[in-house]
A and B are shown apart, each in its own frame.
Chain A
């Protein structure tokens, strides 16, 4: 399976600022995804990061709030913009390796907004 790293692992940010989270994979993958996991909740898909085209966002998530880049097949970034305390969450990237059924996750970025 692919090895996935994320930076930063955690951060504490002030309201109104933005944070960019990086996701690096050790091999080329077709599909990358960004999820949010709020305390005590399951994972919610934010968007699918497509290489060479715009990200595809899920209902309730918009590009202005969560801009995503996917410059190549091993890297993606998610920016959480104009943060509020409600954005406090764990943000996870995942990749689909052998077939879209199997996804592998990074360790997550734990974000606290004060």
Chain B
């Protein structure tokens, strides 16, 4: 079983739609949960991250963590064509794997006008 699972999509939505992106993970030791956005032919950029369970909002983006289910989500409200990118969830290891990020496969999102 992979440490982090993410549906690769692709996901295609009209402008203004609410987008829901999700990941599941297997390691209950994960404490930080991160979302990266990667535009075509660019490196991933850190979008937002949360610590432990709960929600975190940043503008149109909301990250949600449910540690009991080992399930994390990223919601994008009022989606824009500029949100078209691949979204990767990631979780940093700890202990002997300190610094190592475990990535999902990424979900490719297209927002059409």
**Interface residue ranges, A against B (CB under 8 Å):** 1, 4, 31, 33, 40-43, 45, 48, 58, 92, 94, 96, 100-108, 110
A42 and B88 form a contact (CB under 8 A): yes
A43 and B45 alpha carbons, distance in the complex (Å): 13
Q: Which residues of B contact A41 (CB under 8 A)?
A: 105
The contact sample of 15 A-B pairs, CB cut-off 8 A, is: A33-B100, A42-B6, A42-B88, A42-B103, A42-B104, A92-B43, A92-B44, A96-B99, A100-B98, A100-B99, A103-B101, A105-B36, A105-B43, A105-B45, A108-B42
Q: Which residues of B contact A45 (CB under 8 A)?
A: 100-101
Number of cross-chain contacts by CB at 8 Å: 54
A4 and B44 alpha carbons, distance in the complex (Å): 12
Q: How far is the CB of B102 from chain A (nearest CB, A)?
A: 9
Q: Which residues of B contact A92 (CB under 8 A)?
A: 43-44
Nearest residue (CB) in A for B101 is A103
B99 and A1 form a contact (CB under 8 A): no
A45 and B98 alpha carbons, distance in the complex (Å): 13
Nearest residue (CB) in A for B8 is A40
The reply on B25 being an interface residue by CB < 8 A is no
The reply on B41 being an interface residue by CB < 8 A is yes
A106 and B46 alpha carbons, distance in the complex (Å): 11
A101/B34 contact (C-beta < 8 A), A45-B101, A48-B100 known = yes
Identify 17 new A-B residue pairs, CB closer than 8 A, beyond the known A45-B101, A48-B99.
A1-B46, A33-B99, A33-B101, A41-B105, A42-B105, A43-B44, A43-B103, A45-B100, A48-B100, A101-B92, A102-B34, A102-B46, A102-B49, A103-B90, A103-B101, A105-B44, A108-B42
